[in-house]
Amino acid sequence: VDKTAQRMSVSVDGVEQYTWPVSTGTSGYATPTGAFTPVRLARMHYSREWDNAPMPHSIFFTPDGHAIHGSLATGRLGMPASHGCVRLSPAHASTLFDLVQAAGPDRTRIEVTGVEPIGTGLAGGYGAGGNFRGLTNFDPMAAGIMADGRGTRQGPELRRRP
């Protein structure tokens, strides 16, 4: 799982078989990085922590309850959106679950790398990919408390020259 790219690559016997978009943790809910082995598999799990949210084809990889699982929020895949789990489309989660079950958890390695993309929690809470122009082009002398109310800078010494 690459948190920076918001993608998961699945290899079988060292050969990449699949690459899928995922959603990892949003601001304040980081998905842990590192190398893990599945702790538990659950074909259907309901989160006791998050309003009984369905987590189909869950592959738990930390004792704290972080899992790779299916999610119906497929429009959010490719950007941070979870409370720390790794979300997949239901079909991809089913495929991965079957692969892990067939190989066995002890022969499965889960690697989580990278960082959550910049802007996580901004753009309406949908993570990276929003319009952040206002954050980088803000000029307090033209639009902030130092402006004269007309959107121009105060005083001749502060006016921009073409």
Mean pLDDT of the chain: 81
Residue with more model confidence, 142 or 112: 112
- Range in 88-92, 101-105, 108-112, 136-140 the model is least confident about: 136-140
The pTM of this model reads: 0.72
Q: How open is the CA angle 139-28-115, to the nearest 5 degrees?
A: 80
Q: What's the pLDDT score for residue 117?
A: 72
25-83 per-position pLDDT tens digit: 998 899 999 999 999 999 999 887 767 788 999 999 999 999 999 999 999 999 999 99
18-33 per-position pLDDT tens digit: 999 999 999 889 999 9
Q: What spatial distance separates the first Cα and last Cα of the chain, rounded to whole Å?
A: 49
Q: One-letter amino acid identity for 36?
A: F
